[in-house]
Amino acid sequence: MRAQPPPPAPWADAGLVSGEAVELDVRAARLGSRVLALLIDLVAQLAVALLLSAALSVLVLSLPGDIMDAALAGGMQLVLLVLVLVGYPVLMERFAGGRTLGKLAVGLRVVRADGGPVGVGQSLTRALVGVAVEWPGLVLPLLSWAASVTVMLSDPRGRRLGDLVAGTLVVHTRGAGGWRPAPPPVPPLLGWAGTLDLTRVDDGLALAVRQYLGRVHQLARPDRVRLGRELWAEVAAVTSPPPPWSAPEPAYLAAVLAERGRRAAYRLGRSRAVTATLWPELMPAPATAPAPAVLRPAAPSRAVPHQPDPVRGQPTSVDARR
């Protein structure tokens, strides 16, 4: 299947291929996202170092004075440094599926060069190479930093020295492109779609149609036409009656998918209505907007009973007498 020419910033640039020889839509992590993840990891490592330092201080104070000496203190500090710089990334990638706290926040993951999960040996190799020549760079810091940045910028998949040595790759786990909605059905086909028998259209076939309609703009002719005809042949074999007139296959598929979604929404609405009738306590209370403030009208003037005027003998109001 041939696709149209890719945009200037292609999505599937990691070069990962599944066991079925299908290229995966995975984007390789570049310098910007990886530096952001590194900064978050540095904050996490600093917090871990502070906690371990506090625990080490308590341990040192609890030891007898004749046991604690400069050599033991230096050894404990070295173990603390190794745990923070090497143990943190290795343990996090081992138990978090190739991700550290920084990679979790940014949406990155370390995988093997073939797309498989990263192993402990590979994580350890990445961490040791990183500590030695990348960050903090114990061997020629400034020169190793410049070499690391140069390698990442020149590598097609943005790998650093540790990735090249360990045979790993850092990829994005979140999609960068927006999900395009399925094209709307053609109005003349809506009446025909309402008469269809869709009982044999299973979820797998409907999902294949949805994915085709969502990515039809990425396919080039004649593969776009061929795939549409194949999908419509599968749908037409399990639906009836046939369409009344000739139209492109994507129009038929869009009408069938829209009608299937409309019926599913109708069934869901009826089910919720029955549930609300039988078990109203299971349904969430509808959010009601606060009632607007109503200005109360002024109190109407009360009619004052008329009393007879003692002089003229005519009824007059109390207010008039006052």
User: Which region holds residue 237: left if phi is over 0, alpha if psi is between -120 and 50, else beta?
Assistant: alpha
The answer to whether residue 21 is domain-embedded is no
Q: 52 near 83, Cβ under 8 Å?
A: yes
The answer to whether residue 272 is domain-embedded is yes
The answer to whether residue 228 is domain-embedded is yes
**Same-domain pairing of 142 and 229:** no
**Same-domain pairing of 158 and 199:** no
Q: Is the pLDDT of residue 51 over 60?
A: yes
User: What pLDDT sits at residue 318?
Assistant: 44
**Same-domain pairing of 199 and 96:** no
Give CA–CA dist 34/154, Å, rounded.
15
What values do phi and psi take at 111, rounded to 5? -130, 165
Q: How many independent structural domains does the chain possess?
A: 2
Q: Which of 23-37, 124-138, 293-307 has the highest mean pLDDT?
A: 124-138
The answer to whether residue 9 is domain-embedded is no
Q: What is the pLDDT of residues 219-240, one digit of tens each?
A: 777 888 888 899 999 999 999 8
Q: What global pTM score does this model have? A: 0.53
Give CA–CA dist 302/169, Å, rounded.
87
**Residue 257: which domain range?**
187-282
DSSP string, 157-197: T---HHHHHHTEEEEE-S--SPPPPPPPPPGGGHHHHHT--
User: What pLDDT sits at residue 311?
Assistant: 45
**Same-domain pairing of 105 and 154:** yes
**Same-domain pairing of 150 and 242:** no
* Mean pLDDT estimate for the chain: 79
Q: Is the peptide bond before 222 cis (omega within 30 degrees of 0)?
A: yes
